[in-house]
Structure formats: structure tokens, C-alpha cells
Amino acid sequence: MSFFSVIAKQVKTHPSLIPLFVFIGGGATMSMLYLTRLALKNPDVSWDRTNNPEPWNKMEPNQQYKLFAVNMDYSELKKDRPDF
């Protein structure tokens, strides 16, 4: 018996488990998508150390890398740090 056949059998006998499977599956999917976004978009993560060893130094001051900014307009920020 495969894993999915066991789940299908449980859902047929207990249909009240359907919302549980939907929300657990949705939560797992959203958490994996968020971890993927962090791994690809965060300047603290360096996948290519030979061509870009310090990706945080190449961030422009008006570049938004956070997923959600409450009261921050990144397009109006001025450069306040030196070039390295």
C-alpha cells in the first residue's frame, strides 16, 4: 500500500480530515516557497563565491530585498555608505 492510497482511504472514511490535509499541505508549500525565496533573493546568501564573494556590498540603497516593508519607501532612499 502506498502512502497516497492510505490517505485516500482515510479521507473516504473520515471526510472531516479534508480541511486538515488542505491546510497542512498549504502550510508546507508556503514554507518551502518562502525558504526558496530566502535562498535566492537574500543578500546574506552567497551561492557564487568566486564572482560575487560579498553580495551585500553590491546592494543599491533603493533596492528592496525584504518581503514586506511596512512604512518604508525604498525608491526615495539616498546613498549613505561608502563604496568598497
Identity of the amino acid at 12: K
* pLDDT exceeds cutoff 70 at 84: no
> Per-domain residue ranges for the chain?
3-41, 48-83
d(CA 59, CA 80): 12
Q: What is the structure's pLDDT at 79? A: 67
Q: What is the structure's pLDDT at 13? A: 92
* pLDDT exceeds cutoff 80 at 83: no
Show the cell assigned to 13: 472514511
* pLDDT exceeds cutoff 70 at 65: no
For residue 40, what pLDDT band results from cuts at 50, 70 and 90? confident
In this structure, are residues 77 and 61 in contact, taking their beta carbons and an 8 Å threshold?
yes
Break the chain down into helix, strand, coil percent, rounded to 5. Answer: 55, 0, 45
Residue 66 three-state SS: coil
Instruction: Tell me the residue length of the chain.
Output: 84
pTM greater than 0.85: no
